[in-house]
Structures are given as C-alpha cells and as structure tokens.
Amino acid sequence: MAKKIYRFPDAGDFGGICAGIAYRLKIQAWIVRLIWCLLFLLYGISFWPYIFCWIFMPKADTPADYKEVCG
C-alpha cells in the first residue's frame, strides 16, 4: 500500500507542499522547490497543481526527524 504524502506548513514556505514531498522522497526540500520552479518557468504547468495540492493534501505536524531526512 502506498504511503500518504502530507504537507508540513511549519517546515515549508508556501503551505509546506514541497517539504512534504521532499520528506516522502527522502531528499532535500530545495531540490523539490527547484524542480517545481523549473516546471513553472519552462512549461507553466505547476501553478494549478500546487494550488490543488494546497487545498486537498492533508496537513500534518512536522515530524521530529524532518531535519535529519530533509536537511
């Protein structure tokens, strides 16, 4: 069964969506933010999905090991 992705508003800049994706993928959050920005600048496709995620992605408290996993 697939794990859920949560957003971490305390760890993120705009809603914590990239922070939640980074935590799920076990990579640093700046990498996810860079990819998201490049998708927006190059293709213009990440604005509405970000808003959609902000509305529908469940909010969670930032886990204690967030800094260890995401840097």
Domain positions in the chain are 17-58
**pTM score, whole prediction:** 0.80
State how far the alpha carbon of 24 is from the alpha carbons of 20, 42, 44, 66, in Å. 6, 25, 24, 10
Burial of 69 (0-12, 13-18, 19+ CB in 10 A): middle
Q: What is the pLDDT of residues 2-34, one digit of tens each?
A: 678 888 888 777 888 888 888 888 898 889 889
d(CA 49, CA 63): 24
Q: Compute the mean pLDDT over every residue in the chain, rounded to the nearest whole number.
A: 83
Lowest-pLDDT choice from 21-25, 55-59, 62-66: 62-66
- 59 and 7 Cβ atoms separated by less than 8 Å: yes
Specify the DSSP element, H or E, that contains 42: helix 29-43
